[in-house]
């Protein structure tokens, strides 16, 4: 189990962003949100257009209202506790869940398929094929 953060770092209305590595080696972003039944973790993309981040790395994270995460692109709202969307373009779809555990106020990544990388979003400067600045890194 890898430690992600503490519960008091997860905003009441918003999200806490971190980065994991998939089994394929690809990096992916995950958000922690406050839900009615505790903290939930979802992969940070919309089910309508997977290129669309819910948390765009701005202060406070994803937009939320009344326990729902609002997609910034077309406004579909996902239940923060279940990940389910019953409205708009993503209707009928559910966010991709990430397994976490909360122990004494500390949040751990328990998803066997994922490896914790760092707090915050994917570093977009990493591995750009046209960049020479990392040669000899």
Residue 92 CB burial class (10 angstroms; 0-12, 13-18, ≥19): exposed
Rounded (to 5) percent helix, strand, coil in the chain = 5, 40, 60
Token representation of residue 89: 């373009």
Q: Which is nearer to ligand FES, 71 or 100 (CB)?
A: 71
**Residue of 46, 62, 77, 100 that binds ligand FES (CB under 6 A):** 46
- Determine the size of the site formed for ligand FES (CB under 6 A): 11
Q: Which of 89, 102, 108, 117 binds ligand FES (CB under 6 A)?
A: 89
Determine contact, residues 12/38, Cβ cutoff 8 Å. no
15, 19, 44, 76: which one contacts ligand FES (CB under 6 A)?
Answer: 76
Instruction: Give the residues lining the site for ligand FES (CB under 6 A).
Output: 46, 48-49, 52, 71, 73-74, 76, 88-90
């Amino acid at each position: 189990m890898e430690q992600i953060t503490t519960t008091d770092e997860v905003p009441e209305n918003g999200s806490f962003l971190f980065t994991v590595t998939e089994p394929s080696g690809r990096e992916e972003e995950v958000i922690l949100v406050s839900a009615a039944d505790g903290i939930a973790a979802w992969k940070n993309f919309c089910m309508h257009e997977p290129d669309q981040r819910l948390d765009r790395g701005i202060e406070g994270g994803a937009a939320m209202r009344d326990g729902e995460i609002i997609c910034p692109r077309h406004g579909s709202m996902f239940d923060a506790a279940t990940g389910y969307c019953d409205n708009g373009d993503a209707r009928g779809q559910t966010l991709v869940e990430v397994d976490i555990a909360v122990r004494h106020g500390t949040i751990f990544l328990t998803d066997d398929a994922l490896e914790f990388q760092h707090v915050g979003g994917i570093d977009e400067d990493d591995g750009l094929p046209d960049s020479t600045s990392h040669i000899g890194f």
